[in-house]
Amino acid sequence: MENTTSKHSKHQAFIAQAEEALKENSSAMDTTFRLHYHMMPPAGWMNDPNGMIYFNGYYHLFYQHDPYQAKQGPMHWGHARSKDLVHWEHLPVALAPSEDYDKGGNGGQGCWSGSAALHNGTLTLIYTGHVDGKTPEEVQCLATSADGVTFHKHEANPVIGDSPDPVCFGFRDPKVWKHGDKWHMVVGYGKDGLGKAIIYTSNDLLSWEYQGAAVESDGTMGDMWECPDLFPLGGDDRHVLLISPMNIAPVKNLYLSGTFDYESCRFVKQQAEQIDYGFDFYAPQTLIDDLGRRIMIAWMNIWGAAMPEQAHGWLGAMTLPRELKLAADGTLRSHPVPELSVLRGQHISAADIALADGGLTAIDNVQGDSLELDIVFDLSKSSASELGLRVRCSGDGSSYTEIRYAIAEQRLYMDRNLGGAGDGGVSEAPLGQLEDGRLRLRLFIDRSSLELFAGDGRIAITNRVYPDPANVGIGFFARQGTAVIETLDAWELSSIW
Ligand code: FRU
């Protein structure tokens, strides 16, 4: 039988091979759609954020990764770290499929999504070993590291070798957190057509006791809950559960806010809403940092999309890190972390800009593909029925993405039907309760992404767009009436790479 040392060297040999492939593939990439200030893999494929943890002065971000190709294959864990949540440094691949519980089969296989924990000073990764067609197909596994870079798969793997019921639709994506002296794990699960968040507890991360489902779908929330993340937020026993539910298109992400009782391990829901209303926001994960902030990052793509960057030798980006807060009414608020302001360069500021009915108004020097915009419309001075802006406009006006607020409907739209390559589609979100008659939009434009925030963090819309790189125009509009931009701030954002 293979001993632990030879297993470890076999794992390290797979990692060395992956690193070689990455070096080669990164020099052969087409960089047209590479982003300026978002986390991306050095080359190859990336999906879910994994193992997010603040540790020894660094934010660690692991991710689902195929270093060999820009499509989903045998999943590795890529690894990056950051001191400020803005600048990312790539570290060696942390996990490669190497054992019978995470390698083999003809289809999906690998070290699937999971989380990280610091246990007795040891950085520990908790992940799903997935092998298509194997019985059981999904098990929960550990890997530990003394230096935060090289990881050893645990000899006790799999630490959870069976789902609660062998007849289920998914048992994966463990997220672990500590409450008092006990480790808690929430796992994504599907059974009888209902997505569920099931709970295990442990004293040592090795031996786990099943505690049942904290909460499950009411029949409208999908048949499998991928990548659950359950954490305290807002004080008392208030908690938030983030899920990526399967098979309730077009909805791809939800949060449930409510209370979690550590005695019974049951969650009682107060609110359920989308976390982000865009097309490209999936599998969010959070960490808590040294300032006590709850920070969320999501995969800024979606399964099944056209993904034009695949043909360029890479796929996948992470959203900007967003700080989460829970409002008294149970609504989740997300704001891009303030650290991002270090990227700000040239600043244009304007005020009291009148928008005529119809047409597009450009503002001197406000254009680009790497920008932050902060726009306040004074609705009390507006007679229009809709207002907004077009970004990434071509010179001839035929290609753009439009952000539009319909005032009577109280709905915010992002329309990328004429946005360029890739999928079209219109994202929409309800947006009432505007602060003192004003609509404030914060928009982050990067070379192939748009992230829009409104309603004091209640609404986020995240989409990938793939315009011609030359399309950098921006124009503002009002329709069926006039409108006024009270203030506008635009910053050029520098590249982190
Ligand atoms: C979510 C997901 C997870 C799984 C991983 C595989 O995007 O499907 O459920 O662990 O991706 O890469």
Please name the amino acid found at residue 41.
P
Mean pLDDT across the stretch 60-83? 97
For residue 194, the tally of other CB atoms under 10 A from its CB is 18
Asked if residue 29 has pLDDT above 80, the reply is yes
Mean pLDDT across the stretch 374-385? 96
Q: What is the pLDDT of residues 412-445, one digit of tens each?
A: 999 999 999 999 999 999 999 777 889 999 999 9
* 8 A C-beta contact, residue 393 and residue 474: yes
Domain over 344-493 is classified CATH 3.10.20.30:
no
Predicted pLDDT at 436: 84
248 class by beta-carbon count within 10 Å (0-12 exposed, 13-18 middle, 19+ buried) = middle
Q: Which of 195, 229, 201, 197 is nearest to 213 (CA)?
A: 197
**Pocket residue to mutate for ligand 1, from 45, 113, 282, 297, most atoms within 8 A of Cβ:** 113
The atom of ligand 1 lying closest to the CA of 113 is 10
* 8 A C-beta contact, residue 321 and residue 479: no
Mean pLDDT across the stretch 352-359? 97
Report residue 204's pLDDT band, with 50, 70 and 90 as the boundaries: very high
Residues involved in catalysis: 48
Please give the Cα distance from 268 to 214 (Å, whole number): 8
Give yes or no for residue 154 CB within 6 A of ligand 1: no
The atom of ligand 1 lying closest to the CA of 299 is 7
Distances in whole angstroms, Cα of residue 329 to Cα of each of 32, 225, 458, 484: 43, 25, 12, 31
Predicted pLDDT at 36: 98
Cα 136 vs. chain centroid, distance in angstroms? Answer: 28
Asked if residue 388 has pLDDT above 80, the reply is yes
Report residue 27's pLDDT band, with 50, 70 and 90 as the boundaries: very high
Mean pLDDT across the stretch 1-28? 93
CA of 494 to the centre of ligand 1 (A): 32
CA of 42 to the centre of ligand 1 (A): 20
The atom of ligand 1 lying closest to the CA of 48 is 7
The pairing of beta strand 473-479 with beta strand 411-415: unpaired
From-to residues of CATH 2.60.120.560 in the chain: 344-493
Give yes or no for residue 47 CB within 6 A of ligand 1: yes
Q: Is residue 267 classed as helix, strand or coil in its secondary structure?
A: strand
* 8 A C-beta contact, residue 74 and residue 144: no
Asked if residue 459 has pLDDT above 70, the reply is yes
From-to residues of CATH 2.115.10.20 in the chain: 4-336
**Arithmetic mean of pLDDT over the chain:** 97
Give yes or no for residue 302 CB within 6 A of ligand 1: no
* 8 A C-beta contact, residue 151 and residue 143: yes
Q: What is the pLDDT of residues 81-117, one digit of tens each?
A: 999 999 999 999 999 999 999 999 777 899 999 999 9
Give yes or no for residue 246 CB within 6 A of ligand 1: no
Predicted pLDDT at 4: 84
Give yes or no for residue 64 CB within 6 A of ligand 1: yes
Q: Is residue 312 classed as helix, strand or coil in its secondary structure?
A: helix
Predicted pLDDT at 391: 98
The atom of ligand 1 lying closest to the CA of 173 is 10
Give yes or no for residue 75 CB within 6 A of ligand 1: yes
Q: Which of 413, 430, 414, 428 is nearest to 464 (CA)?
A: 414
16 token code pair = 């060395």
338 token code pair = 């303030």
Give yes or no for residue 227 CB within 6 A of ligand 1: yes
Mean pLDDT across the stretch 139-144? 98
Predicted pLDDT at 106: 77
Mean pLDDT across the stretch 151-166? 96
CA of 443 to the centre of ligand 1 (A): 28
Q: Which fold has domain 4-336?
A: Tachylectin-2; Chain A (2.115.10)
The alpha-carbon radius of gyration of the chain (Å, integer) is 23
The pairing of beta strand 401-406 with beta strand 411-415: antiparallel
Asked if residue 2 has pLDDT above 80, the reply is no
For residue 410, the tally of other CB atoms under 10 A from its CB is 13
Report residue 1's pLDDT band, with 50, 70 and 90 as the boundaries: low
Q: Which residue's C-alpha comes closest to atom 9 of ligand 1?
A: 226
284 token code pair = 């969010």
Q: What is the pLDDT of residues 320-344, one digit of tens each?
A: 999 999 999 999 999 999 999 999 9
Asked if residue 262 has pLDDT above 70, the reply is yes
Which residues partner with 166 through β-bridges?
A: none
Please name the residues in contact with 37: beta carbons below 8 A apart, sequence gap of 6 or more. 86, 320, 340, 343, 370, 446, 493, 494, 495, 496
CA of 113 to the centre of ligand 1 (A): 6
